[in-house]
Structure 1
Amino acid sequence: MKFCLFVLVVVAVLSDLASARKAVAGFQATRKLSPRIIGGQEANAGQFPSAAAINASTPTGTYFCGGTLISNQFVLTAAQCITGGTAFQIRLGSNTLTVVGPNWEIVGTSIYFTHPAYNPETLEADVGLIKFHLPIGFTDYIQPVYLPTVDQADNMRNVAIGWGSVNDETLSLSNTLNYVSVTSISNTECQLSYANPILATMVCVIGNYNEGVCRGDIGGPLLTVLNHHHWIVGVASFISTDGCETSDPSGYTRIFPYIDWVKSTAGI
C-alpha cells in the first residue's frame, strides 16, 4: 500500500513556493510534491469557454487555482482555493496566462462562499464559489459550463483541464491551458494509493500513463461531454505526494452531491 496523503496544491506566485499552501491542516506530506497537468495537450482558443484562471490574494501572499464559470456572476472552484482569500482576480476567455488578446476579460472581486460542510482536514465538501460584483457578458470565448442533473463523475471518458505545470522538473505554471482524457476508478482502488479515506463524495481518475492534475490545477474542472456540451462533474481537490509524474490517481470532489447548494448560492 502506497502511503500517500492528500495535499493542498496551490501555486504561490508572490510568496516562496516552499512556504505556500502545500498541505491541508493536519496532513503531513511524506513524499515529493510536484506540478502537472501531465501528458496533456494544448487547448484551442474557445475550446473550453468556461475555464477560469484564478489569482487569489491572502494576507501572506498570492497563489493560483483553476475554476469554472457557471453563470454570468459566479465561478465554481475548490473551497481550499478561496478560504482566507482577501481578493481574487479571474481571467476568462483566454487559453494563455500572459498574452493579451481581444477575447479575454479580467474580473476582480473579494466575494466568495465555501460550502458549510467543508473540512480542510478530510477535504470533504471541497467546493466554493466566487462572485463577481457585476454580471459579465457572454461571448463565443466566455460561456458557462452545464451543471449536472445526475452524477456523471463515473463516466469512463472524462476530461481534465488546467494551467498546472507539465512535469516534475519545473515549478512554474503552464502559460497555455492543457487538457487530457482521464478515466474514473472505484474509490476502493483509489484507496490503495492514499492513507486518508476516499469519501463517497470524491472521485479519483487516472490516465493511460501518468496523466492527471497537480499544483496549479486544483479547483479546475473534471468535464464530460454530452450532446456537444461540456458538463462539470468534479472539482480538482487532491494529488499524491509521490509527485506528478507517477501513476497515482488524482482526486476530485463530485459536484452532484453539492449541486443544490451550488444552485441556491448562485441563484441559478
Structure 2
Amino acid sequence: MRTSPWIVVLALLAQASARVSKGLKEDVKKRSNFDSVDATKEYTLEALVADANYTETEIYLSNIKEESTTNSGVDPTTAKPISHNGTDDNGRILGGTLLTAGTFVLPLTAYVFVQSTNAVGTVIQDCGGVILSTVWVLTAAHCVALATDVTVFAGTIADPVNTATPTTQSTAMAIIHPSFRQNCLLNDIALLSLDTALTFSATVGKASLSLVRPTIALDNFIFTTLGFGPATDAPFASIGSTLNVVDMQNMNRVTCNQQTAPIYVLYPGNTGCLKTAGGTKGICNADPGGPVFYESPTDDFGKVIGINSQILGCPRQQPSSFTWIYPYIPWIHSKTFINFM
C-alpha cells in the first residue's frame, strides 16, 4: 500500500512537537524552584474538593517521640483565645488591633513580612510568614512562586520596608510544595530557607506547629492571625504602618462553600475558612502567607494551625481561606528536619 506524503509530514510534525514539549518541560525543571515540573496543571473539581489523606501525617506523628504523642490528641472544645491587648481597633487587617511593644509577644513575634521581587527588582508580592527556626520560615506558595528574589523581615511591629525602623532581614530561597497549583491555589504552602540565620530575642521568636487534626470539632472556634495588609484592595494601596492582629472564626466548610459559590469560587482541599463580619473583619492584600494560630487548652502559646491563602477582595463578606498545617507536617519535616512533637 502506498503511503500518502501528507501522512508522513503529519507524523514528522507530531514527533517534532513532542520533542519540543519535552524540551520545554526539562528546561522548566532546570530553572524552577519547584519540587516538581508541572505546577500549572489544572485539577478537576473532584480533586479540588477531595478530603485530605492524613495517613502519611499520622504515621509520621506516631513514629517520633512516642512519649509526647498525647499532644496530638488535644480536645479543642475548651480552646483559649490568644492574649493581645492592643491599643485600639481600626485595622489594616480589617477590624484588627494595633500591636504595641508590650503586646508583641510569643507567638506573635514569630511573624515575618515577606517581600518578593522579579528579575529587575520590582516588587510583585507582599505577604506574611512565620518563623519555624533560625533558618526556616513558612509562607504561602503563591507569595513566592513567581519571585526571582525573596526578602524576609522579622522583629518589628512597624512597616519594615518604608520606615527607618531597624529590622532583622535576610534573603531566602523558596522551596515550594511539589503539588502546588497556581490556578486554584491548591497546596498553597512553601518553605523559605534563610541565607542569614535569625537571632532570637524579645521581638524575634519561633512558633510551633499545631498537631491538632482539622475536623468539624474545630468549627466556629476562634483563630488568631496578623499582618501588615492594607484595609483596602485598591490598586497600589500601601501596607499598614503598624502590625495588626485579629481574631476570626473558623467556619464550617459547607457554610463556607455556600457563601463563595455565588461568585463561582470553591476553595480547594486541605483548606479552611475564616469568617468575616459583614466585611469589617478579616485579612487583606499582603496578609496571605501569614500564620493562623490556635491555642488549645493544653498549650502555653498559640500554635500554627494554618497559613493564610486566598482572599476574595476586601472589605467584603466572603470568607478567606487558609491552608491547614496538619497534612503537610511530613513534608515540612523532610525539608527542615525540625521535630514538631
Q: Same fold (TM over 0.5)?
A: yes
- Report Cα offsets for 1:72-114 as digits up to 9, x if no partner: 1011000001113221121101011144446x311123x1100
Q: The residue matched to 1:37 in structure 2 has which SS? A: coil
The residue aligned with 1:260 is: 330
1:218 paired to 2:322:
no
Residue type matched to 1:117 in 2? S
Higher strand share: 1
- Report Cα offsets for 1:183-205 as digits up to 9, x if no partner: 01122111121423333300001
Note if contact 1:36-1:216 (Cα within 8 Å) is conserved in structure 2.
no
Q: The residue matched to 1:54 in structure 2 has which SS? A: strand
In the alignment, the residues of structure 2 paired with residue 140 and residue 131 of structure 1 have an alpha-carbon distance, to the nearest angstrom, of: 22
Note if contact 1:56-1:64 (Cα within 8 Å) is conserved in structure 2.
yes
Q: 1:92 aligns with which of 154, 165, 168?
A: 154
The residue aligned with 1:107 is: 170
How far off is 1:266 after superposition?
1.5
Q: The residue matched to 1:89 in structure 2 has which SS? A: strand
Gaps of 5+ in 1: 1-23, 27-34
The residue aligned with 1:160 is: 225
**Aligned pairs (5 A) from 1:174-189:** 174-189=240-255
Note if contact 1:145-1:231 (Cα within 8 Å) is conserved in structure 2.
yes
Note if contact 2:186-2:269 (Cα within 8 Å) is conserved in structure 1.
no
How far off is 1:142 after superposition?
0.6
In the alignment, the residues of structure 1 paired with residue 234 and residue 144 of structure 2 have an alpha-carbon distance, to the nearest angstrom, of: 27
The residue aligned with 1:191 is: 257
Q: The residue matched to 1:191 in structure 2 has which SS? A: helix
Distance 1:25 1:246, change over 3 A: farther
1:239 paired to 2:311:
yes
- Report Cα offsets for 1:189-246 as digits up to 9, x if no partner: 1112142333330000114442111211111111122433121111111112xx3122
Aligned residue pairs: how many? 233
Residue type matched to 2:306 in 1? G
Distance 1:158 1:152, change over 3 A: farther
1:59 paired to 2:125:
no
Higher helix share: 2
1:117 paired to 2:192:
no
In the alignment, the residues of structure 1 paired with residue 178 and residue 226 of structure 2 have an alpha-carbon distance, to the nearest angstrom, of: 26
In the alignment, the residues of structure 2 paired with residue 41 and residue 136 of structure 1 have an alpha-carbon distance, to the nearest angstrom, of: 27
Q: The residue matched to 2:334 in structure 1 has which SS? A: helix
Structure-1-length-normalised TM-score: 0.79
Note if contact 2:276-2:318 (Cα within 8 Å) is conserved in structure 1.
no
Gaps of 5+ in 2: 1-39, 43-90
In the alignment, the residues of structure 1 paired with residue 143 and residue 116 of structure 2 have an alpha-carbon distance, to the nearest angstrom, of: 8
In the alignment, the residues of structure 2 paired with residue 246 and residue 86 of structure 1 have an alpha-carbon distance, to the nearest angstrom, of: 32
The residue aligned with 1:127 is: 189
The worse-fitting range, judged by mean Cα deviation, of 249-258 and 144-153 is 144-153
Distance 1:264 1:163, change over 3 A: same
Note if contact 1:118-1:125 (Cα within 8 Å) is conserved in structure 2.
yes
Q: What percent identity do the matched residue pairs reach?
A: 24
In the alignment, the residues of structure 1 paired with residue 273 and residue 189 of structure 2 have an alpha-carbon distance, to the nearest angstrom, of: 16
How far off is 1:248 after superposition?
1.2
Structure-2-length-normalised TM-score: 0.63
Note if contact 1:69-1:144 (Cα within 8 Å) is conserved in structure 2.
yes
Q: 2:300 aligns with which of 204, 228, 242?
A: 228
**Aligned pairs (5 A) from 1:32-47:** 37-45=93-101, 46-47=104-105
How far off is 1:251 after superposition?
0.7
In the alignment, the residues of structure 2 paired with residue 169 and residue 82 of structure 1 have an alpha-carbon distance, to the nearest angstrom, of: 22
In the alignment, the residues of structure 1 paired with residue 225 and residue 146 of structure 2 have an alpha-carbon distance, to the nearest angstrom, of: 26
The structure showing larger relative contact order (alpha-carbon pairs under 8 Å, at least 6 residues apart) is 1
Distance 1:169 1:81, change over 3 A: closer
Residue type matched to 1:256 in 2? Y
In the alignment, the residues of structure 1 paired with residue 211 and residue 234 of structure 2 have an alpha-carbon distance, to the nearest angstrom, of: 40
Note if contact 1:181-1:207 (Cα within 8 Å) is conserved in structure 2.
no
- Report Cα offsets for 1:34-83 as digits up to 9, x if no partner: x9621111122333110101111113621311111111101100000111
In the alignment, the residues of structure 2 paired with residue 236 and residue 43 of structure 1 have an alpha-carbon distance, to the nearest angstrom, of: 19
The residue aligned with 2:270 is: 201
